[in-house]
């Protein structure tokens, strides 16, 4: 038998194995090194995650502790402030802290519907004024001659309501004589900051110095321009609606007046 070819094949296969063994070893070593590097990288990543989580928890705890300290400090300051305000006689809930000093709230009394005030003003907020008027008048009766003269009036105004006592003088046989004496009730209605309207009703006695006088009831309306707080110009018209006859002559008529008003 011839064993020469079989020996040759065995030697050839051995030579192949010898050549492949180092390659196999090198590949195994590289795979092992890759596995080690991947495990090390995973370990580093997990460590970094743990470190970041722990640092985040530490920061969170630090922040919460700071906030709690700030809240405690603010509560202490607020309680001290409230105690200080309570000692001073204030309620801490009705005051806001705008600065280091405590702001004191003062009661502001707004002006009423009629804003002008005088020295005789009371604590109730409604003005109380003494009114003095002087001017001229023109009376036109339904029967008889027109007479003119001057008038003087004094009264008191409380808010929008005023009570006035007026005396009208006219030219008579012996000079100026008291022609009419009446008491008026007025209600002032502002239509602008400086202009007021005042409807009025008056009850009086005409021809006071004559032998036979006559009582009357007048209705009228006037307007007043307030130049200052104490000085005003005005005029009014009144109609004598109800009047008694004097010596058989009706005393009804129309009355037109211009006046200067001074308040104290």
Copy the structure tokens of residue 115: 């804003």
Residue 17 has pLDDT above 50, yes or no: yes
- What is the distance between the alpha carbons of residues 137 and 169, in angstroms, rounded to a whole number? 9
Enclosing H/E stretch for 59? helix 4-88
Is the same domain home to 255 and 179?
Answer: yes
Domain membership of residue 217 as a residue range: 128-263
Does residue 72 have a pLDDT over 80? yes
Residue 137 burial by Cβ neighbours in a 10 Å radius (0-12, 13-18, 19+): buried
Q: What spatial distance separates the first Cα and last Cα of the chain, rounded to whole Å?
A: 161
Same structural domain for residues 141 and 178? yes
Task: Compute the distance between CA of residue 162 and CA of residue 167 in angstroms, rounded to an integer.
Answer: 16
pLDDT in tens, 238-253: 999 988 887 777 889 9
Residue 5 confidence class, pLDDT cut points 50, 70, 90: low
- Looking at the structure, tell me whether residues 165 and 77 fall in a common domain: no
pLDDT of residue 11 exceeding 90? no
Half-sphere exposure of 123 (CA within 13 A, CB side): 0
In a domain, 219, yes or no: yes
Same structural domain, 72 and 135: no
For residues 216-230, b (16+ Cβ closer than 10 Å) or e, as one string? bebebebebebeeee
**Are residues 224 and 232 in contact, defined by beta-carbon separation less than 8 angstroms?**
yes
Round to whole Å and give the CA distance between 85 and 115: 35
The pTM for the full model equals 0.54
Q: pLDDT band for position 29 (50/70/90)?
A: confident
Can you give the pLDDT at residue 248?
76
Q: In this structure, is residue 100 part of a structural domain?
A: yes
Q: Mean pLDDT over all residues of the chain?
A: 79
Q: Whole-angstrom Cα distance, residue 36 to residue 39?
A: 5
- pLDDT tens column, 76-126: 888 877 777 777 765 544 445 544 555 555 555 544 444 454 444 444 556
Instruction: Please give the tally of structural domains in the chain.
Output: 2
Is residue 128 within 8 A of residue 117, CB to CB? The reply is no
- Give the per-residue pLDDT at 82: 78
Please check whether residue 256 is in contact with residue 138, taking contact to mean a CB–CB distance below 8 angstroms.
yes
The contacts of residue 24 (CB under 8 Å, 6+ apart) are: none
Is 182 inside a domain boundary? yes
Q: Alpha-carbon distance 164 to 190, whole Å? A: 19
Residue 10's pLDDT band (boundaries 50, 70, 90)?
low
User: Do 133 and 258 share a structural domain?
Assistant: yes
11 is written with which tokens?
């030697």
Kindly give, in sequence order, each residue whose CB lies less than 8 Å from that of residue 236, ignoring residues fewer than 6 positions away: 198, 200, 220, 221, 222, 223, 256, 257, 259
* CATH, residue 143: 2.40.160.20
Query: Could you report the per-residue pLDDT of 164-209, keeping only the tens digit for each?
Result: 999 999 877 666 788 899 999 999 999 999 999 999 999 999 877 6
Residues 192 and 140 occupy one common structural domain: yes
């Amino acid at each position: 038998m011839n064993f020469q070819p079989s020996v040759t094949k065995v030697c050839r296969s051995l030579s192949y194995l010898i050549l492949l063994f180092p390659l196999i070893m090198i590949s195994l070593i590289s795979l092992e090194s890759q596995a080690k590097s991947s495990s090390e990288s995973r370990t580093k990543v997990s460590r970094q995650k743990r470190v970041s989580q722990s640092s985040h928890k530490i920061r969170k705890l630090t922040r919460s502790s700071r906030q709690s300290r700030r809240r405690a400090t603010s509560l202490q300051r607020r309680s001290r402030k409230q105690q200080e305000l309570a000692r001073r006689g204030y309620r801490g809930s009705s005051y806001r802290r705008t600065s280091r000093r405590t702001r004191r709230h003062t009661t502001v009394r707004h002006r009423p519907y009629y804003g002008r005030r005088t020295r005789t003003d009371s604590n109730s907020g409604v003005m109380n004024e003494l009114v003095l008027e002087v001017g001229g008048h023109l009376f036109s009766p339904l029967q008889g001659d027109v007479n003119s003269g001057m008038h003087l009036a004094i009264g008191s105004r409380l808010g929008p309501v005023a009570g006035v006592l007026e005396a009208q003088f006219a030219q008579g046989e012996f000079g100026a004589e008291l022609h009419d004496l009446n008491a008026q009730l007025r209600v002032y209605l502002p239509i602008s900051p400086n202009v007021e309207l005042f409807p009025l009703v008056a009850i009086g006695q005409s021809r006071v110095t004559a032998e036979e006088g006559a009582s009357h009831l007048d209705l009228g309306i006037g307007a007043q321009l307030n130049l200052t707080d104490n000085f005003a110009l005005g005029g009014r018209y009144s109609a004598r609606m109800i009047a008694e006859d004097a010596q058989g002559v009706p005393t009804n008529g129309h009355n037109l007046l211009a006046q200067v008003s001074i308040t104290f």
